[in-house]
Structure 1
């Protein structure tokens, strides 16, 4: 059995999950290596499983990345899932399926209703690592940020800033092969007044967390919604459901990451082994 974990050139030294996945595979007698998705020398058909991991440059090369994904046999997660999940407009569909998400407005223009909130977050629907994202107190800044994204041919999304994030952070729930693996507290990364930055790193102030029953319920509903939207089981090898806590204490989905989420394996005892086992079970 052979597996390759796929990264991008600049992420090779940044993704701390990769060596843990290699070790876990080797401990199980599985041939495993790390490859780069846009390396033309790689013979993808030679692997029993091609597992997308830290392809973090896809946001500026999405068409190229998805064309590559469509050409790769035995891809985890599938090309269909990646095509759907790499644009956050998917939130509309999981909300329609009954999953509670953060209140979201799309392509806000000057004068549009922003809702009665103290702060807002504006970001493009195709992005990663909080790039081109900012937290605003002024409606004028919200309108200007959204307008700039739309003028650049991008879809913008505007959400109220959830104040609980400042103290509680986000809860990232990790599932491998459909089974819950571990959960992480992700510390806040958007600072009031800093505007748009391109150098944020969401892998910093994090630690293990025990999810509540309500968080488990919403995370499971989000994963079930993927099957409903696609019209068949998505057969996910990995998934990360990011949740925040609303003012009334209920969990809301902020993102459903099925493409290249950081998995925080450095914090989860044998988390890498659970992912390798989930992939191997699908071979």
Structure 2
């Protein structure tokens, strides 16, 4: 007989899933520890790749900062499928860790950044159209392996080709997108949703300043520094976010959290850049009560798991 289930042990136990580079969690995620403790929940940071981790010993495993998975996504997705109680669920992780989901959202009527895809081994030439473009892998976290290129600059064109080739040689699918210039002035807006009794509920929004300053030269970093400030979401942004969430396979009701990243398009209307359902920073420190709202969302999921 085991003693690790909530019904037999009494006090629920939650794993906050991280990676070897962040054994004590990201500082923002540590803001969740006290609110969980006040609610009678024992929370522990656990590396997703730790072979000694006993995932069945937790009533819930909450994905937070497993940011080293991008180069071994297949292993990560297989791991997720073996975790008895995972938030967000393993099938969502499989879908969301490959950014080809953007094509599905676009087909569902969500306004997304126009994207072209370059398969490994496929020949690629920069678009003839002038302007700035972003090159990045379809599987990535923390803006890793992502670069910005001005295709009017011959040197940048060469660097963009080299970037695509580098990803191709590594067997990675490449995304090429026009750079949305409004990010340099308006920034990027991230809308954060947390689980409530009736599904994801809007919690708060933040502004991220521009992050891509030029070409990617192959530097290895877990994530890029971000300039974050609080922001008030507009009704138009909320409408795009809710449409994106409604298109999540299996429905949004199973989600513990969601982050919807938007940038104004050429006409000023919000465009979806990413729908982050796997391991997004939630910016708990940038909104009063956000950590408590996430702790309540965890309790909601614990109740569902117990049921």
- Give your verdict on TM over 0.5: yes
**Structure 1: how far apart are the matches of 2:64 and 2:250?**
25
1:22 maps to 2:44: no
Q: CA deviation at 1:194?
A: 6.5
Q: How many residues align?
A: 279
- Is the 2:146–2:216 Cα contact (8 Å) retained in structure 1? no
Q: Deviations over 1:119-142 (max 9, x none)?
A: 000001011122211100124443
Q: Give the aligned CA root-mean-square deviation in angstroms.
A: 2.0
Q: Specify which of 274, 294, 298 is matched with residue 275 of structure 1.
A: 294
Q: CA deviation at 1:115?
A: 6.7
Q: Specify which of 51, 54, 60 is matched with residue 62 of structure 2.
A: 51
The match for 2:264 is 245
Mark the CA change 1:4 to 1:194 in structure 2 (over 3 Å): closer, same or farther. closer
Q: Deviations over 1:12-32 (max 9, x none)?
A: 356112321111100112222
Mark the CA change 1:74 to 1:90 in structure 2 (over 3 Å): closer, same or farther. same
Q: Secondary structure at the match of 1:266?
A: helix
Q: Which has the larger radius of gyration?
A: 2
The match for 1:174 is 192
**Structure 2: how far apart are the matches of 1:45 and 1:14?**
21
The match for 1:260 is 279
Mark the CA change 1:15 to 1:207 in structure 2 (over 3 Å): closer, same or farther. same
**Structure 2: how far apart are the matches of 1:193 and 1:262?**
24
Q: CA deviation at 1:271?
A: 1.1
Q: Secondary structure at the match of 1:164?
A: helix
1:72 maps to 2:94: no
Q: Secondary structure at the match of 2:213?
A: coil
Structure 1 residues not aligned, in runs of 5+: none
Q: Specify which of 63, 68, 93 is matched with residue 74 of structure 2.
A: 63
1:153 maps to 2:175: no
Q: CA deviation at 1:116?
A: 3.5
Deviating beyond 6 angstroms after TM superposition, the runs of 4 or more aligned structure 1 residues are none
TM-score where L is the length of structure 1: 0.92
Map 1:33-48 → 2, pairs under 5 A: 33-48=44-59
- Is the 2:62–2:87 Cα contact (8 Å) retained in structure 1? yes
The match for 1:225 is 247
Q: Deviations over 1:76-113 (max 9, x none)?
A: 0001000111111111111111110111111184446x
Structure 2 residues not aligned, in runs of 5+: 1-11, 152-156, 303-307
- Is the 1:117–1:160 Cα contact (8 Å) retained in structure 2? no
- Is the 1:109–1:143 Cα contact (8 Å) retained in structure 2? no
Mark the CA change 1:14 to 1:134 in structure 2 (over 3 Å): closer, same or farther. farther
